[in-house]
Amino acid sequence: MADSKHFDPDAVLDTVVEVFWRQGMVGTGIQGLVTATGLSRSSLYATFGTKDRLYAAALRRYIERHSAPAFARVAGAGTGLAAVEEFFAALVEYRCSGGYAGWGCLITNAHAGPECEDPVVRDLLDRHHRHLHEALRAALVTAGRLGQLHPAADPDAGAAVLAALAYGVNLRSRAGADAASLTAVVESVLAPLRAPRPPGAPETRDSPETRDRKSP
C-alpha cells in the first residue's frame, strides 16, 4: 500500500470520483476505495476523513471539474439557444459514448440515492441546481435579446424545464437509453422555446457535429 506521505491527494480524489460515479455511494465500500486507490484504510481516513466526507469531497471535485465549466460555457457563450443546444448535445454524447457511457451524472445519481438526505450532500446538490438553472436562464435571456426566443417563453420557467430535462437525460442514459432517443426528447423540449421562423427563412442553427462537446 502507498504511504500517506507519498501520494498525490488530488490524483487519489480523481480516482475516488470515478469509483463513486460508477458504483454510487451505497454500492461503494471502503475496501473498494482501498483497492481502487492503492492506499491503506488508515491513509484514506487520515487524508479525507470518513466515507461520508470523502463522498462530499468527490461531489465537490465533480462539480469543479465537470459541471462548473459546462455551466460557464452555456451562460457566457453569448449565442442564446445555440449555447443551450450545444450544452444538451454535449450532455447526450458524453452520457452515451466514451469511457463514461452509462455512468450517468454523479450529481444526478446523488439526487436519486439515500445520500441526498445528508445535509452536506443536500446543500451541494441544491447549489449545483441553482447554478444549472442560472446558467440556462442566462442563455435564454440572451436568446430573447437576440430574437431567438418565442414571445410566450419565460426564461425562468424555461430554465426550470431545461434543468429538469438535464437530470432526465442523465438518469435515462444510465438506464441504457440511446443517444438518438434522448436527442429526440431534447429537440421536442427546445422546439416550443424557439421564435417562429418566417416562411422561407433558412435554418441557421449550427449542426451538432460542428460543436465542441464536453460534459456538464
Q: Are residues 43 and 61 in the same domain?
A: no
Number of domains in the chain: 2
Residue 44: give the domain boundaries.
1-49
Q: Are residues 160 and 123 in the same domain?
A: yes
Q: Are residues 59 and 45 in the same domain?
A: no
Which one has a higher pLDDT value, 201 or 150?
150
CB contact at 8 A, 167 and 111: yes
| Region 143-168 average pLDDT | 97
Q: Are residues 80 and 139 in the same domain?
A: yes
pLDDT of residue 200: 64
Q: Are residues 11 and 75 in the same domain?
A: no
CB contact at 8 A, 196 and 150: yes
CATH number at residue 68: 1.10.357.10
CATH number at residue 3: 1.10.10.60
Q: In this predicted model, what pLDDT tens digit does every residue of 60-95 receive, in sequence order? A: 999 999 999 999 999 999 999 999 999 999 999 999
Question: Does residue 215 fall inside a structural domain?
Answer: no
The secondary structure of the chain as a DSSP string is -B-TTSS-HHHHHHHHHHHHHHHTTTT--HHHHHHHH-B-HHHHHHHH-SHHHHHHHHHHHHIIIIIHHHHHHHHHSS-THHHHHHHHHHHHHHHHSSTTTT---HHHHHHTSGGGGSHHHHHHHHHHHHHHHHHHHHHHHHHHHTT-B-TT--HHHHHHHHHHHHHHHHHHHHTT--HHHHHHHHHHHHGGGBPPPPTTPPP-SPPGGGS-----
Question: Does residue 216 fall inside a structural domain?
Answer: no
Q: Are residues 171 and 69 in the same domain?
A: yes
Q: Are residues 163 and 105 in the same domain?
A: yes
Q: Residue 119 — φ and ψ, nearest 5°?
A: -60, -35
Confidence band (pLDDT; 50, 70, 90) for 202?
low
pLDDT of residue 212: 46
Q: Are residues 149 and 106 in the same domain?
A: yes
What is d(CA 15, CA 33) in angstroms, rounded to the nearest whole number? 9
| Region 101-116 average pLDDT | 95
Question: Does residue 29 fall inside a structural domain?
Answer: yes
Q: Are residues 41 and 80 in the same domain?
A: no
Q: Are residues 60 and 153 in the same domain?
A: yes
96 residue type, one letter: C
Query: In whole angstroms, how far apart are CA 101 and each of 30, 146, 180, 204?
Result: 24, 35, 14, 30
